[in-house]
């Protein structure tokens, strides 16, 4: 337990020294924090999900409308066989 704690502390110190020497703070900031592209991807994902739901609703409405029209015209509705 103590050994693991000591090793973690030593590794943290070594990592900080390497960061200072090679100026990796900008790279670490870019990796860890959200940037402009991350925000855009999240927005686009929400938009795609929204339109996917909208398309599903339209397909359901179309199927219901088709059934009503066929029923009103006196045409029997043929159900598809499931495999």
* pLDDT tens column, 19-70: 777 777 777 788 888 989 999 999 999 999 999 999 999 999 999 999 899 8
Domain total for the chain?
2
CB distance 19 to 25 below 8 Å: yes
Residue 83 inside a domain? The answer is: no
Co-location of 27 and 38 in the same domain: no
pLDDT tens digits, one per residue of 1-10? 788 889 999 9
Task: Name the band, by pLDDT with cuts 50, 70 and 90, for residue 74.
Answer: confident
Q: For residue 40, what are the domain limits? A: 34-75
């Amino acid at each position: 337990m103590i050994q693991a704690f000591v090793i973690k502390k030593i590794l943290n110190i070594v990592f900080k020294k390497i960061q200072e020497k090679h100026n990796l703070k900008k790279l670490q900031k870019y990796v860890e924090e959200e940037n402009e592209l991350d925000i855009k991807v999240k927005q686009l994902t929400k938009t795609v999900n929204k339109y996917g739901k909208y398309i599903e609703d339209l397909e359901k409405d179309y199927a219901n409308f088709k059934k009503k029209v066929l029923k009103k015209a006196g045409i029997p509705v043929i159900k598809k066989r499931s495999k």
